[in-house]
Structure 1
Amino acid sequence: MRSHRLGILVAALWWGGITGLSFLAVPVLFAQLGSPAVAGPVAAKLFSLQCYAGLVLGVLLLMVLRRGNEQGGRPDGPTLTTLGIVLFAMLLALMQEFGVAPHIVSARASGGSLRLWHGMGTAMVFGQWLCAGVVLWRLSRAAASTPA
């Protein structure tokens, strides 16, 4: 039962962090600083930090899910699905940080396709947000169905 609670806490931190940064902090940053040239590098740093936080929280979730497996052997189907969702979100974070983010920076400097790369980065962050939300939902639903 303790691992369910820890898993829910970690998933909530992950989902809440992405929510707060992507839907609140970054839009406020652009609105208050006024210039995309000023706000962009700050937002990029925040998204980079979010990536690393997501990777750490993802690893913690993998450990919690693996340890919380009551069977002691192979994880059951729902646990495997949740593990896969966590791994997919972590892959999106890595692709965003090391694949897309450098292209955003170079497109801004060289006049490349900023719209394309920014759209891809946005889609990857949104994918991470969805994955973290699904994991949170699955863990909280599983915790609600187990006796206290």
Structure 2
Amino acid sequence: MAWRQRLSVLAAALWWGSLTAIGFITVPLLFANLPTPALAGQTAARLFTAQSWVGIGCGVVLLLSMRAKGEEPRIDWAGGALAFVLGGMLLALLGEFAVAPRILARENLRLWHTVGSAMYVLQWACALVVLWKVAGARER
């Protein structure tokens, strides 16, 4: 397997795995074990910010690895993974810069927490599709 393809698989695995570990394991454990929900929420907010940057970084690595040196980017890269990379990156950016500030300001908390959670799950699904397609691309 070429190094670009290995790098793509690694970036996709890191993105999906970190989303899974933080959103579905670590944050629920924070709320179950820290003394107050406020403390858990503050810690979770920091973790979600870090996760947003991990997702954006992995997306950039994936975008850079989708083209060979001197070639144009391929829209059909990894069986159509490009749209899911861009979608996941957009969701990470919107979560960080549009939703998170509203949650931190406690502005209509129920609405923005629901929107943020839905966007996180959608980003998780995008990262999973990217991982599936990139890992399967070597079989073609």
TM superposition score normalised by structure 2: 0.91
Which consecutive segments of 4 or more residues in structure 1 shift more than 3 A? none
Identity score, percent? 45
Partner residue in 1 for 2:139 = 144
Structure 2 residue aligned with 1:128: 123
2:109 to 101, 106, 114: 114
Q: How many residues align?
A: 139
* Structure of higher CA gyration radius: 1
Aligned-CA RMSD value: 1.8
Q: Equivalents in 1 of 2:83, 2:69: separation in Å? A: 16
User: Deviations for 1:48-96, whole angstroms, at most 9, x for unmatched residues?
Assistant: 0000111111101100112389xx3451534483122111111100100
Structure 2: segments with no counterpart, 5+ residues: none
Gaps of 5+ in 1: none
Which has more helix, going by share of residues?
1
> 81-90 or 43-52, which moves further after superposition?
81-90
Q: Is 1:86–1:135's contact at 8 Å kept on the other side of the alignment? A: yes
Q: In 2, distance between residues paired with 1:29 and 1:85?
A: 30
Q: Is the 8 A contact 1:11 1:136 kept in 2?
A: yes
CA distance in 1, matches of 2:88, 2:16: 11
TM-score, L = length of structure 1: 0.86
Instruction: Give the whole-Å Cα distance in 2 for the aligned partners of 1:86 and 1:76.
Output: 12
